[in-house]
Structure 1
Amino acid sequence: MMAKKWLSVSVMIIVLSVFVLAGCGGTNEKETNDSPGGATEPEAAASLLDAIKDRGKLVVGVKFDTKLFGLKNPSNDEVEGFDIDIAKALAKSILGDETKIELKEVTSKTRIPMLDSNEIDLIIATMTITEERRKQVDFSEVYFKAGQSLLVKKGSAIKSIDDVKKGTKILAVKGATSVDNIIEKSPEATVLEFDNYQDAFSALKAGQGDALTTDNAILYGMMAQDAGYEVVGEPFTDEPYGIAIKKGETALVDAVNKELAALKSSGEYNKIYEKWIGTMPLE
């Protein structure tokens, strides 16, 4: 009987020891996880600005088909324009070197999806700031003021937005605010949408439409490509361009705004503007 009693006590001691050791092991594991370098609880992700600095490269979504703002030069395969120079200035400000930059082609349709999927850090691509877009991205301060107009072949009967009526074929680019604007201003017109500005301009030159509509700054670039076309009438919208940044990346927004302010105060912004647009910016 006594032997059985001692056996029961021994079993209980062993069981209790197992629980105590297990408890100690759990405590050690928690301490390990809470300590720097713990595998199961990684440190909070750094901001996008920190990631850019660690990477040593700023990746910017720009247009490759928009003369004056972002156009790929076939003679050297370099993308050139107003937006490109702004992007380089940001790379110099953030990373100390304007060459530490990668330019990726975007269109009005693809730019926000590419930003959301982390393919690019910024969008600098003639992107108008709207309340609807503010729900999807954060914007910098306005870096360029434009207004929507019409491009027509010289001698066209269309002289302003008032001449766009039922039966008029207007060419525009998918995903651009200009589509909604022209439908609102001239609801009876026929709007044909294209993937990019070069396709839309080619369609206009091929006689597939009566006018092409987008921001006047972009249309001036098309005029520079072909003197047979002209911008007519006064702008019928305000189109403030902003640099788009992924939602919540406030440190990067602040860094971009700081550099834009510095460019304007130093006079460098005016030099870039005059270089590409041919005039000084309107106040």
Structure 2
Amino acid sequence: MKKFWCFMGLFSVLTLMLITLTSCGSSTALSKRDVLQADKKSNTITWGVKADTKLFGLMNVKTGKVEGFEIDLAKALTKEILGKNGKAVFVPVTSQTRMPLLRNGNIDAIMATMTITPQRAKQVDFTRSYFDAGQAILVKKGSPIKNVYDLNKSGKVVLGVTGSNSVENIGKFAPKARVLQLSDYAQAFTALKSGQGDALTTDNGILYGMSVENPGYVVVGGSFTKEPYGIAVNKGQKNFRNRLNKALTAVEKDGTYNKILKKWFSNVPGLNYKEMMR
């Protein structure tokens, strides 16, 4: 765990430096760049992925590699687009850094539990949904909180992650609750365990991943929103977005998608992965 936190701390510093160094004067050049053609030439697609989210993208401190559903799906899409020798490169991102890294050209696409929303669609272009999540809450076993509406009682504290739309949604369903925002899911869960909040909220798939790793915590109340995840690319990259959509259809039709889904979600208590199959 100490190794993980050291990595995440170092990564955050390096990411901020990278964004700062590449942000000045790059927008014009990037808007003219054809990402799909550049990726075909280099035989590489660079993906922005989560490294702190079990089941979707989590850093394995033993191997130094990120593992999860989105990682395997990105690999499959890369090979579908570039061929069997196509290379997928992964850059860990957070909810705060993923958009700047995409705009600056440090990554080609974001596949990082990113919900398709009208507000975000003004800044990036999304593929169609590749995973249909829904927002929920995670609490300690035995908690009197059984659903999101129980958080509307005075004094309740909900933990969330900065840059996610989960925080905004809580304002709609439990406006009386106080929200404490952390920089990533690992910190948010640590805050829940230490009693800094009564519940942690984000998408159900992410919360189920936390509960698998920490059996003393459970997802309660079911989903209260729909959170379709999409792959985000920069505006003006219509060819790349269309090719990603075509690749998604291909891996769904040949069964690759369902194999990856089964690998990561078939043994998650309380989650019926078969309902998510395509």
- TM class, shorter-length: 0.7 to 0.9
Deviation at 1:99, TM superposition (A): 6.0
Q: Which blocks of at least 5 consecutive residues in structure 1 are unaligned?
A: 1-43
Give the distance between the partners of 2:265 and 2:167, measured in 1 at CA: 24
Residue 95 of structure 2 is matched in structure 1 by 108
Residue 215 of structure 2 is matched in structure 1 by 227
Give the distance between the partners of 2:103 and 2:32, measured in 1 at CA: 16
Give the distance between the partners of 1:59 and 1:281, measured in 2 at CA: 30
Answer whether contact 1:273 1:281 (CA < 8 A) is retained.
Answer: no
Give the distance between the partners of 2:168 and 2:115, measured in 1 at CA: 13
- The correspondence of residues 71-86 of structure 1 with structure 2, limited to 5 A, is 71-86=58-73
- Is 1:280 aligned to 2:271, yes or no? no
AA in 2 matched with 1:164: L
Deviation at 1:56, TM superposition (A): 2.1
Identity across matched positions, percent: 52
- The correspondence of residues 50-65 of structure 1 with structure 2, limited to 5 A, is 50-65=37-52
Q: Deviations over 1:163-185 (max 9, x none)?
A: 11221110000000100000111
Q: Deviations over 1:111-153 (max 9, x none)?
A: 1111000000000000000000000000001100000000000
Deviation at 1:91, TM superposition (A): 1.4
- The correspondence of residues 187-202 of structure 1 with structure 2, limited to 5 A, is 187-202=175-190
Residue 269 of structure 2 is matched in structure 1 by none
Deviation at 1:190, TM superposition (A): 0.6
Residue 206 of structure 2 is matched in structure 1 by 218
- Is 1:163 aligned to 2:150, yes or no? yes
Give the distance between the partners of 1:246 and 1:263, measured in 2 at CA: 23
Q: Deviations over 1:59-98 (max 9, x none)?
A: 0000000000000111211111011011101211122136
Give the distance between the partners of 1:137 and 1:113, measured in 2 at CA: 11
Give the distance between the partners of 1:225 and 1:99, measured in 2 at CA: 33
Q: Which blocks of at least 5 consecutive residues in structure 2 are unaligned?
A: 1-30, 267-272
Q: Deviations over 1:214-264 (max 9, x none)?
A: 000000000011100000002110000000011110111111001110111
Answer whether contact 1:216 1:235 (CA < 8 A) is retained.
Answer: yes
TM-score (ref. length: structure 1) = 0.82
Change (3 A) 1:99 1:201: farther
Residue 149 of structure 1 is matched in structure 2 by 136
Give the distance between the partners of 1:85 and 1:282, measured in 2 at CA: 16
Residue 26 of structure 2 is matched in structure 1 by none
SS in structure 1 at match of 2:99: helix
Give the distance between the partners of 2:274 and 2:86, measured in 1 at CA: 26
Residue 37 of structure 1 is matched in structure 2 by none
**RMSD of the alignment, in Å?**
1.4
Change (3 A) 1:148 1:98: farther
Give the distance between the partners of 1:216 and 1:263, measured in 2 at CA: 24
Answer whether contact 1:64 1:79 (CA < 8 A) is retained.
Answer: yes
SS in structure 2 at match of 1:71: strand
Answer whether contact 1:68 1:82 (CA < 8 A) is retained.
Answer: yes
SS in structure 1 at match of 2:155: coil
SS in structure 2 at match of 1:264: helix
Residue 242 of structure 2 is matched in structure 1 by 254
Answer whether contact 1:60 1:122 (CA < 8 A) is retained.
Answer: yes
AA in 1 matched with 2:76: A
Change (3 A) 1:270 1:281: farther
Give the distance between the partners of 1:212 and 1:99, measured in 2 at CA: 38
- Is 1:125 aligned to 2:80, yes or no? no
Answer whether contact 1:274 1:281 (CA < 8 A) is retained.
Answer: no
TM-score (ref. length: structure 2) = 0.84
- Is 1:96 aligned to 2:77, yes or no? no
AA in 2 matched with 1:140: T
Q: Any runs of at least 4 consecutive aligned residues in structure 1 with deviations exceeding 3 A, and if so which?
A: none
